[in-house]
Structure formats: structure tokens, C-alpha cells
Chains A and B, each alone.
Chain A
């Protein structure tokens, strides 16, 4: 073989290569409005998830601003209790269900995972598209509720009996419960797609030991989603049944139990916050490695920590219930588990410090956001250690101290890495660089505003201000701190506006990015920005953890996959040995149509149980349409066919 020049093996020459043209023809997605609804390519769906999630982030932020405005003055009349209760419930529900998971796990995961694996598309691309439309359906149901004065008003976790039929008449809590169904089915769909992609579509040579930390994290989170989401589906499902058909799961008068709801909900709720945080931590691991210009220190401890956090995250849920009067022994167990989970997180922190310490730091914009993450998440984690201890928790539980804690860990642990990731992968997604100066303004405005608002809230909690109060008396001495907290909103808003300007401007006139503007190691940097519809001209192989840094110039590429059909390579879960070939189903309208019928059934069931038998046939019809073998003759495949058990 001729010796290769030291350039990337998968560099694309669109104009010249016939192979590229054939692949583009085979893998392209249809255009036009109809085509938009048929799209099954992961980069397009991923961007849709991220853009939609960001819109809901902004909407959730508007609700937060309304809350802060209401609380600026005692006995303020900006919002009465009914509207306020809807606003804070919508704020929490929007941020958690319509922003955090769809952005950090679904959108970003769907976009980057196949690229990092070296695959041409995500596994089960139609399920992926379906998950997006279902997410949008759930979001529309929830916000449709708010805009028709049927917004849920029982808090984002909707404790019974307040959310039950006796104390929440009307459909507000039903809308909340069904939104859960929509978004959880959506997340489960994406989890199956991502887990399968990571286990079966990695580039040959990418053994588990050579997987980027981000792929490990997405795998762990997908498994966590698979085991956690059912709990909230059961909780919200039983709530719906109590409300709509007269069951008594949560009715103490008939043998039901109010704590059953809390156990079911928090069994989901606690893993949920790790589902939100661990993607952020993985982004940080990726960026710390890139901007320290060396391989990350402690790959194995970090991977073990990610897995351990996923596990231990399932064993701490009762720390949300310390005030319910549980036996002391069980409380001590959950304190111990909640403290134990600090160890894997701490391990990641120490490894990041070590990487920076022994690295050559290049402080570019995405790394600045990582530094912000270190500061903010650290504070949140430390206040979490305080909350783990039962006596302290019994004082600060359900106060603004907890509100401060979880905003520090969620905004620190997810939002800051999200912006880091956006600025980092923006060049790959759009082909252009975001403006660094605007990016820095964004960072400092947001960082300062965030700390002004949320650090202050710790003190309000210590001074006895409970959560979810639409107002307070003038004699509580809470006004000063509330005014200070509300003032931070101005800076955060300004920072976000700068960000929006940056994005809209840079997409059009930002510097051309090229394949790999940051010099990072991952496979996603080996093709043009944005990636072509077939991702890789040749499916790559790898021989190290940091392919673009370590792999030799003549690193083999895969040949023998057909380019006239959408043929993909399936590899072994552990050592990524090529196993067999598969065929991507291509664009299809059925995911969208199925999402419509499923949404209609879900929404209808809020109003009548008959929606289930009436809504089922259209759902079945669209699913059959989806699963029915496609029109093309199976002959092209059969000629090469042989069997494997």
C-alpha cells in the first residue's frame, strides 16, 4: 500500500470523489415540507431537539423572571396565587422535562453519538424521529394548558393528595401527567437508540476501553433512563387513574397511601437529576482533555465514576422524604448513600484538576464555561452534602436553601456545560465559529447574574422562607434579599440576549470552521463541518482512545459496504469486531404519523377513558404502516445473504 500523508483518512472531497457523490445520493434526506417530516438523519433530528429545547429554556426563563418580579415586594399583586402556582409549576416542569433532558441527553446525544462512534446514522432512526415528534407533542400539550388557563398548578412533582381528584378538580393535573407520558416515552425511545448505537455501531477497533468518556456516559445514562423513567410513568399513570376512573391508589380513606406516590416519583426523580448532570460532566471531560492538549488523566477512574454515579443514584431517593417521619435507621442509610455519591463525583473533579495541572491549558471560550461549571457546580455539590444530613435537611428542606442548591447543581452541572458544548460543537454543526468576544460577554453577564440571584437564596432559606410561596408578609424581613436575588435576572437576561445575537450572527457570518478548529481527538472532527448526509466517506476504524491524536496516518478504513443502499456495519458490543451488515430504513413519514395518532390518544384520554379504545386503532394502523416491509424488492439483499446465529 502506498504510504499515506499525515492527513485525516476520512477527509472529504465532495467535488471530486465519485464515492462521495454516490453516498450523498444514497443517504440524502428528502427536501421540502413533506421531506422535513420524513427526515430520519440523526444530525437533523438532533438539531431539532436542541433548538426546540432551547426555545423552551427561554420560555421557562420568562416564567422564572415573573416569579422573581412577584417576589420583589411583600404582598405584591403582580400575580395572584392561582397564576403564581401555575407559573412556578410550569417553570419547573418546563425546565426539567422540556429542556434539560431533551437538550442534554436527547438532542445533544442524538447529534454527537453516531459521529463519535464512526457510524453513518443512529440505530433505529425512525424511532429517533418519532421520539422527537412525541416530545414536541408533550410540550405543546403542557404549554397549551398554560395558555388556556389549564396549566398545572401543583408543583413540578405534583404530590398527592393535592394533585389528586379531591383537591385538584379540572384538567390541570391531568395535563401534567400526560405531558410526563409524552416526554418519558420520548426519552425512552432515544435511550434505546443511543444504547444500541453505542453497543453495536462503534467503529471497528473501538473497544469499550477505547470509547470516549462521552460515549460511556451516554450508555450509562441510557440505561439509567430505561430503569428510572418507568417509575415516573407508573406514578403519573396511577395519578391519572385516580383522577379519571376512580381508583384509590393514593386515597388513604380507601387503603391507598400518599407516600407511595413520593416513593415512586423520587425513585425516578433522583436518577433524573443525574441524567441531567452526567451529560454535563462528560462534556467537561471532553473539553478539559481538548483544551489541556493532553489525554485526560484518569480515564478508568472517570469511567468507573460515571457508572458508579449511575448506580448509586438509584439508591438515594428517600433523601427527598426525610421530613415525612421515616424510621431513623432508614434515614441514616439514605444519608450514607447520599454522601457516598460524592465520591465518584469528587473523583471526576480531581481527575479534571490533574489533567489541567499537568496539561498545557489553552483557555478558549468553551473552556471558560468549563471553569464556570467548576465554580458553580462545586458550590451546589457542597450544599448538597449539607442536605444529605438529616438534621440539617429537616431545617432547610422545602426552603429557598434547597432552591439555591438545586439551581447551583442544575445550572452549574448542566447549563454551563451546555453552553460550553454549544460553543465547542457549534463549528461542527454549522460550519462556522461563534464569536469569542460576544461569547465572553455572555459568560460573564450570566455568571455574575446567576450568582447574585442564587447565592442570595441560600440566606433566604436560612431565614425561614419556604418554597412555592406566592408572597410573604412585610414583617418577615425577607424583602431586601428578595430584591437582591431578583436583580440578578437582569444580568442573566442580558447574557442570554448576547448569546442569541451571537448565534444568529455567527451562523451567517462567523469564521469558516473547517473540519477541526479546536484540534480535538474525537472522530466527529474528521469530516467536514457540517457533516455530509453520510457522515463518513469511509467508515473509520480506530486504534486508540483519542483517534485523531493517536491513530497512524494509515489507520485502516472500512470497505465493502454497499453505497447504493444504506448499508451500515454492526460490530460487537465489547471489542467492536465487525459482525454483520444492516440496512438503515431511510426517510419515512410513519414516525410523524404515528406520533400524531399516539398524541391524539394521549390527549383524548385526558378527557375520557373512551379515548383509549377509540384512539387505539389509528395508533395500530400507523404502527403497522411503520413496521410493514418497504416497497422495494428484497432481492438486492438476498443475493449476499447468509445466516448467523
Chain B
């Protein structure tokens, strides 16, 4: 179940797991799984939300999801709320 994104068979295990950008910054926590994307939320009251393609995941190890994209790219391209 862990390893490369293509090796993840049960995507539901990613719920509530932290997501980090390629430059090591925390993007947020996975709040839901869509067919092709993950919805990631950051912040407690009015959270920022990101729509992250599953293909951006390069690694899922020790309960942490690592992306192939930098925090700048994530902010500019994936945030929707």
C-alpha cells in the first residue's frame, strides 16, 4: 500500500495523513479522496483547500505523503478555497 503513488491500491488509507511539498513544507491533511485527486485541507477554522492530482504523489512512507511539486507551485496551481 505504501511506496509510489501507482502502488497505492487503497486510497482511503491516505485520509487524515499529512502532505508535504518537494521543498519540505507542510501542505495540509488529506480530507477526502476524489477519483483522480486528493482534497487537502490546511488550517482549523476556515481551512485553505487544495486539489492535488494523485499523479503528483511521488512517495507515501511512514504515513507521510510527499509531492513532486514545490510549495510555490502547490499554492499557485492547486489551491481552490
Co-complex (A, B): no
**Residues of B with Cβ closer than 8 Å to A?**
none
